[in-house]
Every structure is written in structure tokens, then in C-alpha cells.
Amino acid sequence: MNINIRKAGPEDFSTILTLIKEFSIFQKTPEKVTITLEQMVAEKDISQCLVAETNDGEIVAFATYFFAYYSWSGKALYLDDLYVKETFRKQAIGKKLLDSIISIGKNEHCKKIRWQVSGWNSAAIDFYKKMGAVIDETEINCDLVIRTN
């Protein structure tokens, strides 16, 4: 099966939102998804997303990312989410997406790519290690939700 990796556009947001919700169930945290289709459309100018699409146009995976700056290393690309639908796993789609992210990072002169992986997700950890990633077990993520009253 041929898979095409391409930049997502607003016409893809509905499908991407469905995949985000599917991913949150896989992560066992569906309650954390608060984004809406309307918000995705409103924030389309800052949204960076790649999709993996089959020959017949079905989107089966996505990767969201943004550029960041780290005081210790400089310009970086942050891979926010990478998800492949369960029925399409083990077909190198995740590798194609990650290779595309790496290519974007290189083309944009980034010094590194950073992302998270759940400690329980040994398959993902193994995959990332095979790709050459170093898994940092020192740092812990912090989220501060900004509430608008």
C-alpha cells in the first residue's frame, strides 16, 4: 500500500480531530481533549500537521508539531503528537511520518527534535530508540491550564 505524507489543511481538521480523540482513548486520557473543530479552524495559522493518506484518500495517521527555542540548544522542532490508527500499525507509517518531521527539522535548521512518550508505551519507546532518540527519564512534564473566566 502506498502512503502519501502531506501537510494537513483545514479540510482535514474534522478527520484529524477524530484521530486525536482516538489517540486520547489509546493514551487512556480522553478527558484531556478539549480542542474543538471551531478552535482548530480559528487557530489554523499556527497549526502545523502532517497526515498520512492511503491511495484512496483515507487519512490513517497524523503528526502535529511546532517550532520552539531552547536556551540550552537553540531552535528546535517539537513533535506534539504522532498517531497511527491501530489497523494501520506495523506498516512503517509512523516511520514515514517521523522521517518527514526529521526532514522538516533539518530544512528549518533546527538543532534537535523533542517529544514525549508515555512510560508505559514500550512499543513506542523501542521504535524511538531504533530511530536514534535518547529517552530522558530525568525530566517531568508540567502543564498549567490557563483558565479564562
Sheet holding 112-114, edge to edge: 3-7, 49-54, 59-70, 74-84, 112-114
Digit-coded pLDDT (tens) for 116-139: 998 899 989 898 999 899 988 888
**What is the percent of the chain with per-residue pLDDT over 90, rounded to a whole number?**
79
**26 pairs with which residues across the strands?**
none
- CA 11/CA 3 separation, integer angstroms: 19
**Which pLDDT band, with edges at 50, 70 and 90, does 145 fall under?**
confident
Catalytic residue numbers, as ranges: 128
- CA 119/CA 65 separation, integer angstroms: 21
**Which pLDDT band, with edges at 50, 70 and 90, does 55 fall under?**
very high
- CA 46/CA 66 separation, integer angstroms: 8
Instruction: Check: pTM over 0.85? Answer yes or no.
Output: yes
Residue 29: which of 123, 116, 134 has the closest Cα? 116
Burial class (CB in 10 A: 0-12, 13-18, 19+), 50: buried
